[in-house]
Amino acid sequence: MAFIPSSDKDIEKTNLETHVILCAERNAGLLERILTLEKKINDVIEQSRANKRILVGAAISVATGVISTIFALITHLPK
């Protein structure tokens, strides 16, 4: 961002070209920050999806183990 000496603080109010340049710099800075935040949000969403897949896989593994144990107990019971 451009540096404006303290004695010229009001130059933006009186000079349209300076105002336009400073606004363009501010907008560029804001755009950069928005793009950074968008990337971070997308990373969080992707991590959340990966965590959901892991949890579903773990639940399926536990359910398979329980069903296998029940089946083994039922088939090996004395008659």
The answer to the question of residue 38 being in a domain is: yes
Tokens of 29: 């800075």
User: Total domain count for the chain?
Assistant: 1
Inside any domain, residue 5: no
Examine residue 40 and state whether it is found in any structural domain, yes or no. Answer: yes
Question: Residue written as tokens 């400073």?
Answer: 22
pLDDT in tens, 1-59: 556 555 556 887 888 999 999 999 999 999 999 999 999 999 999 999 999 999 999 99
For the chain, the C-alpha Rg in angstroms (whole number) is 31
